[in-house]
Amino acid sequence: MTASLPNLPFLETVPRFLFLTGKGGVGKTSLACAAAVVLAGQGKRVLLTSTDPASNVGQVFGTTVGNAITAVPGVPGLDALEIDPQQAADAYRAAIIDPVRDVLPVPELSAMTEQLSGACTTEIASFNEFTSLLADETSTAAYDHVLFDTAPTGHTLRLLQLPGEWTTYLSDGKGDVSCLGPVAGLDRLRHDYAGALAALTDPARTRLVIVTRPQRSAIAEAARTYAELRALGMSDAHLVVNGVMPTYAVTPPGHDVLLDAIRARETAALAAVPDDLAALPRTTVPLLAFNTVGVPALRHLLDGVDGFDGATMTPVGDEIPSLAEDFTSLRRLVDDFEADGNGLVMCMGKGGVGKTTVAAALALELATRGHEVLLTTTDPAAHLTETLQADVAHLTVERIDPERAIAEYRDRVMAGKGKALDDAGRAALAEDLRSPCTDEVAVFQQFSHVVFRARKQFVVLDTAPTGHTLLLLDATGSYHREITRQMGDGPRFVTPLMRLQDPSRTKVVIVTLPETTPVLEARELRDDLARAGITPWAWVVNASLTAAAPTSPFLRARARAESPSLASVARLCDRVAVLPMLAHEPVGAPALSELTATPALTPTTQETS
C-alpha cells in the first residue's frame, strides 16, 4: 500500500491497479503519467499502460514508448507500455487463421479473414492484451502498481463490459464464427476474461479514478460513466476534477471578461455535480499555464495542489502568435457547402471536442439561408435539441436511437432468417444477435438510410465519438465489399461507402481542440479514414484562446501554449477553420449563430466573438 498523500485523495492507500477513465480530452493521460511519477518517486515499481488507440504517453514523457515495456528516462522505477491496437490485431488474426490456412477451402478462409478485419476485431485484440495484465498477475509481478490510462469513455465501457458478456457468450457458443474468431476455439480464454472481471470488481485490487473537467458536459459524462461502471461492480471510485482555473488567475475579477466567464461557468458546473459523484472522494487539480509535457511539468502538476504558485510558473510575455493567414472561418465553410449543393456533412472527432456544437452551427446557418436541412446524430450521448433550444424553419432534428435500431434489427432478422429454423437454430441465432458485434450493424442500417437522404437535401451528421464512428465506417466497408461481390459486373450501384468517398457528395469535417491529445487523436482518425478511402474535407479547431485574443496574462499564456497544436493542424489540412473560445456557452440559436457570423478571422472579430 502507498502512504497517505496530502491533497491527493486518489493516491492515498492505492491498490495494485489504478484505472483512470473519463470523457475524451479531460486530461487522463497527463494525470496518469503524473500519478505514475509520484508513486515511482516513493520508491515503488510502477507500470503505466495505455489502452488508448491514440496513446501519447511517450509524447508526454518526451521518449519513445511502444508495444513493449520501456523504462521511462529520468524516473527510476517507472516503466511504460502502449498497447498497439493494429499490431495486436495482426497477431490475433494470425493466431486464428494460420493454423487452418492449409486446411480450410479458400472461400471459407476469405470469409474468416473478412470477419476478422474490422475495427471490432482490433478492439478485441487490444482487449486480450489488457486482460492478460489483469488476469495473469505473474506477468506484472515485478510491479507494486499498474496504472491504466484508458481510451475515451465509450471505448473503455466496451472493454470493461466485455468480460462479463463474453464469459456468457463463450459458455453458450455453438462453434459459430464471429469477430472473436471461431467460438469453439476460444474456450481457453474464459479463464482470462473471468479473472479480469474479478480483478476489476475487487476494491482491494482495483481503484477506479473518474477524471473530469469543471464543465457541465464533462461532469454529465462522468456521472454516466460512474453509473455504468458501478453497475459492473467497480465499487472503489474516486473523482478527479482536472484543469480548474486557479484562484490567482481570476484576481481581481473584471480584468478579463472571458476569464471571468470561464470561472463562473466552472463554479456553476461544480456546484451542480450529481449526488453520486459528489459523494466520492475528490481531488481538484488546477489548470496550468503551460502544457504538461516532460517530467518536471508532470511533477509540478500534482505537487502542492493547494499551494499552487502561479506567479512563478506562469510564462512571462504579452505576445500571442498570430493565426496562420490561410486559416478560415466557419462561415466560409458554409459558403463552400452552399456552392456545391445538397450533400452530407459529417462532423467527426473524439468525445468532448465540440462536434455537436459545430454540427448544430453548420446546420443552423444552412437552414437560415433557406436550405432544407436534416441535423441528426449517431451519438447516444448527444443532445442536439438542448444545443439548439429552438424550432428553426427549414431545419429538422432527428436522432438515430441505438436501442431502437438494435431491437428492430434483431426482430427483423429473427422474423426473416429465423423463420425457417427449428427451435435449436432459432436459439442459436438469438444468441448470435446478442454477441458484442451486432449492435454496430444495427445502427449502421439507419446510418445508411441517412446517407442516401443527402441526395435531396443537406444532411449534417453529428457522429458518435471516434471509436464508434470507425466501427460504423467499418460496417460501411464490409457492406460495400459484400455488395460488390454480389453485383459483379451487373447493374451499376452506389453503396454508402462510395458516397462517403465522394467529396462532391460527402464532406467530412474533423473537429478538434488546440491541445496536444485532441490533435493527436484527430490525426489518428484522419489516418483511419484514409484506409477507408475517405479524405477529410476540412478541419475545425474549436474553442481557441488564440482566436479569442484574451487580455488576462494567464489566458494569454494558455493561448501561447496552443501554438504547436495549431501549427500541427495547419500541416495536416489545407482547409482549417478556427473558432474562438466564447465568453458564454454556445447553446441556443443566437449563440450558435455567432460561430458563423464572422466571414474571416481578424483580431477585432476574435476579441468580440
**Residues 480/498, Cβ–Cβ less than 8 Å:** yes
Sequence-ordered strand ranges (E) for 388-477: 395-397, 458-462
Active site residue 28: yes
**Helix/strand/coil percent split, the chain, to 5:** 50, 15, 35
For residues 14 and 208, give the distance between their C-alpha atoms in angstroms, rounded to a whole number. 11
**Residues 24/53, Cβ–Cβ less than 8 Å:** no
**Residues 374/345, Cβ–Cβ less than 8 Å:** no
For residues 454 and 292, give the distance between their C-alpha atoms in angstroms, rounded to a whole number. 43
Local structure of 508: helix, strand or coil: strand
**Within 10 A of 289 (CB to CB), how many other CB atoms are there?**
20
For residues 399 and 380, give the distance between their C-alpha atoms in angstroms, rounded to a whole number. 8
Which residues are within 8 A (CB) of 216 and not within 5 positions of it... i.e. 6 or more apart? 265, 268, 269, 272, 585
Active site residue 52: yes
Instruction: Choose, from 21, 23, 24, 29, the residue flagged as catalytic.
Output: 29
| DSSP structure string for 523-554 | HHHHHHHHHTT----EEEEEEEHHHH---SHH
Distances in Å between the Cα of 521 and the Cα atoms of 223, 275, 528 are 24, 32, 10
Query: Which strand (E) or helix (H) includes residue 148?
Result: strand 145-149
Classify strands 458-462 and 343-348 as parallel, antiparallel or unpaired: parallel
Cell matching residue 297: 511539468
> Nearest Cα to 315, choosing from 289, 294, 295, 291?
289
Instruction: Choose, from 21, 22, 24, 25, the residue flagged as catalytic.
Output: 25
Angle at 288 between CA 32 and CA 5, to 5 degrees: 50
Active site residue 30: yes
Phi, psi torsion values for 543, nearest 5 degrees = 55, 50
Classify strands 206-212 and 237-244 as parallel, antiparallel or unpaired: parallel
> Nearest Cα to 433, choosing from 449, 417, 445?
417
Instruction: Choose, from 21, 22, 24, 28, the residue flagged as catalytic.
Output: 28
For residues 171 and 183, give the distance between their C-alpha atoms in angstroms, rounded to a whole number. 9
Instruction: Choose, from 21, 22, 23, 30, the residue flagged as catalytic.
Output: 30
**Within 10 A of 244 (CB to CB), how many other CB atoms are there?**
18
Active site residue 484: no
> Nearest Cα to 471, choosing from 398, 378, 388, 392?
378
Report the 3 state secondary structure along 202-246. CCCCEEEEEEECCCHHHHHHHHHHHHHHHHHCCCCEEEEEEEECC
Report how far apart the first and last C-alpha atoms of the chain are (Å, whole number).
51
For residues 87 and 156, give the distance between their C-alpha atoms in angstroms, rounded to a whole number. 19
Active site residue 396: no
Distances in Å between the Cα of 431 and the Cα atoms of 55, 123, 166 are 34, 21, 12
Instruction: Choose, from 329, 469, 517, 544, the residue flagged as catalytic.
Output: 517
Active site residue 328: no
- How long a stretch of residues is the chain? 609
Instruction: Choose, from 22, 24, 27, 349, the residue flagged as catalytic.
Output: 27
Active site residue 29: yes
Q: What is the number of alpha carbons within 13 Å of residue 247 lying toward its C-beta?
A: 6
Active site residues: 25, 27-30, 52, 517
